[in-house]
Amino acid sequence: MYLPLPTPQEMAAWDKRSMDDFDLRPELLMENASREAFSQIKHRFADLAGRSALLFAGPGNNGGDAFALARHLWISGVKVMTLHSKRLKEYDGASGYHLSVLRKLEVPYAHLSEYNFDFIRDVDIIVDGLLGTGFTGELRQDYVDWIKSINKMGEKAYVISLDIPSGIDGITGEPSPVAVRADDTVAFEEAKLGLMQPEAREYVGCLSIKKIGIPQSIKHDSPPEHYVLDVDILDRLVIPRRTMHKGEGGHVLVLGGSQALSGAAVLTCLGALRAGAGLVTLACPADLARQIRCGWPEIMTIPLGEGFDWRREMFSQLKDELPRFDSVVVGPGMGRDDDTRAFFCDYLENVHQRTLFDADALYFLAGDDSLMQRISRSSEVILTPHPGEMARFFHVSAAQINQERSRFVREFSEKYNVNLVLKGASTLISGVDRHFYISPFATSNLAVGGSGDVLAGIIGSLMAQSLSTLDAASLGVYWHGLAGKDLENTYPFRGNLAREIADILPGVLARYKGKKVGDRVFFFC
Ligand SMILES: NC(=O)C1=CN([C@@H]2O[C@H](COP(=O)(O)OP(=O)(O)OC[C@H]3O[C@@H](n4cnc5c(N)ncnc54)[C@H](OP(=O)(O)O)[C@@H]3O)[C@@H](O)[C@H]2O)[C@@H](O)CC1
Ligand SMILES: [K+]
């Protein structure tokens, strides 16, 4: 359901405890790592004998992984050349051990700085073992040059990165300033946080996670802060009983819509219905409700007051009805004028405990900290801003939010302690459980007006179906992402409508629920 995403520091701590507490030798972990990478290469090349491989071995243990892998390739009849970044006598520890075995086998090697890439004709396999989780800061110039050489040769050759493409920051996922573009990345034990950031996406290729023998108890005792959502989160949705009645599907109330933006509220209702809510009611100004009722018979309405505009006094009409709903989504297309704000403030005085705040509700909340104080520290509410909406809370630009998504999400969570979904490529969720959950999906098919409204409806629907708010957010984000990913097949150049995201929800659930994907991170290819 959630795969751990350790930072390089968290990974190093696990590594150290494996040695200190369990006497697991680093040579052994390195051997396991290299065997996993080797089996990935065998998976790609049916017949390895006679192939050629160029292995780049950096100064640390990532380089040691490459030395051990060179041995497996050599024994399988591959023509191997191992290129090392520092002088042979400087390698010690586990890397030194695997290098010494390699030398006894008389596997060819050369110092990277003395090697002339112009002599390379065709090479089948390039192994990137330059830098792993010990990489920090900006690449030194010699590494920039080596990485560029790998990428140039990689236009024709197969490139496999060990643990993480060299040059990718293990936390932010950014190339610093360049990085290896891999066909495959084999992450050892767990995927590192940086691998799941959108910035790393075009470098990682197909990502697989291979266990190398770190004891479970270590990971259990020191869990990481970040996780990536996995396909089996769909198992949270059970096959409905044949005899169920619509009341058991949950009843969602949507508060939204205005004359200019009635579509947003409709899309939220549609998202909720397609995500299985038994009943969906839209409460909005009376004339708007009448219009919407004509085109959407599945959506029930509560016409408030009269006309098309929100008014404070409309809330008194709604107040006593609130308890009959299982969840409330407030904000889509609601508008931002003072009367709407007054209505919203009255709603906050009587807030339904399971409320999702989106769109214009976030605008009001971001503009007045006293409003945020009314909902802070509630585990049942959730906010679903896009970067622009998040930016208002911090008085920064959307671009600044995108540059440091994790930091802003962390600050927000620490200040208000509510569940938060920061939308965008690789949507980030922070829960009141103090963990962070990342969506594996980054697809342009979700970058369309109304997509966020649909997501609000999906999460609202799941909240009404008795999932915890955090589970509803995680499952909703995954399901929405899956639908977007699926739309790539039909609309590789985009052009899908937001309503189509909603419409295919039941179908993608039926197709992907229960799907086994082995060690591979689903769709991360
Ligand atoms: N976790 C585990 O259980 C297991 C982990 N394993 C493997 O170990 C890897 C982590 O190994 P690690 O810690 O030795 O780090 P790693 O990235 O190889 O090298 C760090 C060196 O890089 C250099 N360097 C740093 N920044 C730089 C820069 N900006 N520009 C240029 N150079 C820079 C710097 O060296 P310097 O040249 O400065 O002395 C630094 O010392 C991990 O990813 C996995 O593959 C497996 O063996 C199985 C068990
Ligand atoms: K690497």
**Residue 42, number of CB atoms within 10 A of its CB:** 14
Is residue 137 within 6 Å of ligand 1 at its C-beta?
A: yes
- 32 CA: nearest ligand 1 atom: 48
H/E run at residue 168: none
Q: Specify binding-site residues for (6S)-NADPHX.
A: 61-65, 132-138, 143, 163, 264, 333, 386, 453
pLDDT at site 262: 86
Is residue 170 within 6 Å of ligand 1 at its C-beta?
A: no
> Which residues fall within 8 angstroms of residue 140, CB to CB, at 6 or more apart?
none
Atom 48 (ligand 1) nearest CA: 30
Residue 430, CA distances (Å) to 132, 325, 421 in order: 27, 25, 7
**Residue 21, number of CB atoms within 10 A of its CB:** 12
Q: Please name which ligand lies nearest the alpha carbon of 62.
A: 1
Is residue 165 within 6 Å of ligand 1 at its C-beta?
A: no
Is residue 175 within 6 Å of ligand 1 at its C-beta?
A: no
pLDDT at site 119: 76
Round to whole Å and give the CA distance between 95 and 26: 9
pLDDT at site 243: 81
Atom 13 (ligand 1) nearest CA: 134
Assembly ipTM: 0.98
Q: Which residues of the chain have pLDDT under 70?
A: 516-525
Is residue 143 within 6 Å of ligand 1 at its C-beta?
A: yes
Q: Specify binding-site residues.
A: 61-65, 128, 132-138, 143, 163, 166, 264, 333, 386, 423-427, 452-453
Q: What is the pLDDT of residues 210-254, one digit of tens each?
A: 999 999 999 999 999 999 999 989 998 888 888 888 878 899 999
Residue of 11, 24, 130, 133 with the most ligand 1 atoms within 8 Å of its CB, for mutation: 133
Atom 45 (ligand 1) nearest CA: 62
Cβ burial, residue 118 (10 Å; 0-12/13-18/19+) = exposed
Cβ burial, residue 418 (10 Å; 0-12/13-18/19+) = buried
Q: Specify binding-site residues for AMP.
A: 423-427, 452
Domains of the chain: 2-224 (3.40.50.10260), 233-237+251-512 (3.40.1190.20)
pLDDT at site 517: 65
Rounded to 5 degrees, what are φ and ψ at 519? -90, -5
Round to whole Å and give the CA distance between 163 and 169: 12
Q: What is the pTM for the complete model shown?
A: 0.92
pLDDT at site 246: 80
Which amino acid appears at position 109 of this protein?
A: Y
